Amino acid sequence: MRDVTLDMANFDEPVTGRLVSIPESGLIGLNDILIRQGRRVARGRPDEAVISEAFAEAHKLLPGSSLLATINGKRRELDIVGIALSPEYVISSHPVR
């Protein structure tokens, strides 16, 4: 997991994004993402990204869009290939009464 700087339209200040890597095998198991649109990142394609559904909706992004990110001091264009839900960002709690 790594925080990166994103260049987003309509923002005067840089936006912080969080990159979460997936195993080389692509198999995650229990904490796997659920693809809602598009597809998973292809093996050997480090400039592809799957983004969270909430982030995609907030910024009107779809598969085929791209983001500019500063990663390890280098500016890279990330091609969005999928929109997903991720269990690591879903919080379970007791029912509210």
- Name the residue type at position 5: T
In a domain, 94, yes or no: no
In a domain, 96, yes or no: no
- Determine whether 67 is exposed, middle or buried from the number of CB atoms within 10 Å of its CB (0-12, 13-18, 19+): buried
Q: Does residue 95 lie in a domain region?
A: no
Question: 58 phi and psi, to 5 degrees?
Answer: -65, -30
**Contact between 41 and 50 (Cβ < 8 Å):** yes
Count of domains forming the chain? 1
CA 11, chain centre distance (Å):
19
Token digits for 83?
A: 């929109």
| 3-class DSSP assignment, residue 73 | coil
Tell me the whole-structure pTM to 2 decimals.
Answer: 0.82
- Please write the tens of the pLDDT for every residue from 33-86: 889 999 999 988 999 999 999 999 989 999 999 999 999 999 999 999 999 998
